[in-house]
Amino acid sequence: MAYLLYLLAAVAVPLYLISISVYRLYFHPLSGIPGPKLAAITGWYEAYFELFHKGLGGQYTFHIRELHAKYGPIVRISPREVHIDDPDFYSTIYTNKQALDKPDYLKWRFGAPSALFSTPEHHLHRMRRAAQEPFFAKQRIVNLSPVIQAKADKMCARLHQDFMNRARPVNLDNLFASYVADVTTQYSVDRDFNWLGDPEFESPFVKAIRSLKDIAHPSTQFPWLPRAVAAIPHSIVRVLQPSMSAVLDFQDAMRKLVIDAMDDLKYVQTSKSGKTVIHGILNSNMPQDELDVELLKDHAVSLLGAGVASAQWTLTIACFHVISNPEVYRRLKEELSTAIPDPNVSISLDQGLEKLPYLMACVDEAVRLACGQMTRSPRISRKPIPYSDYVLPPGTHISLDTWHMHHNPVLYPRSFSFEPERWLGDPHAPAPYHTRPLKHYMVSFGKGTRRCIGENLARAEITIALASLFRRFDWELFETTYDDVRVVRDLIAPDVSRESKGVRVLVKEADC
Binding site as annotated, residues:
452
Instruction: Tell me how far apart the terminal alpha carbons of the chain are, to the nearest angstrom.
Output: 90
Distance CA 494, CA 489 (A): 6
Distance CA 326, CA 443 (A): 28
Q: Which of 484, 481, 478 is nearest to 508 (CA)?
A: 478
CA dihedral 476, 329, 315, 192 (to 10 degrees): 70
Q: How many CB atoms lie within 10 A of CB 41?
A: 19
Half-sphere exposure of residue 125, counting CA atoms within 13 Å on the CB side? 21
Residue 206, helix vs strand vs coil:
helix
Residue 137, helix vs strand vs coil:
coil
Contact 328, 322 (CB under 8 A): yes
Contact 396, 79 (CB under 8 A): no
Distance CA 42, CA 78 (A): 7
DSSP one-letter string for 489-504 = EEESEEE--TT----E
| Helix, strand, coil abundance in the chain, percent, nearest 5 | 60, 10, 30
At residue 260, what is the residue type?
D
Half-sphere exposure of residue 243, counting CA atoms within 13 Å on the CB side? 7
Half-sphere exposure of residue 253, counting CA atoms within 13 Å on the CB side? 18
Q: Which residues sit in the known binding site for heme?
A: 452
The DSSP letter of residue 23 is: I
Residue 230, helix vs strand vs coil:
helix
Contact 410, 430 (CB under 8 A): yes
Q: Which of 109, 112, 104, 133 is nearest to 50 (CA)?
A: 109
- Size of the chain, expressed as the number of residues it contains: 512
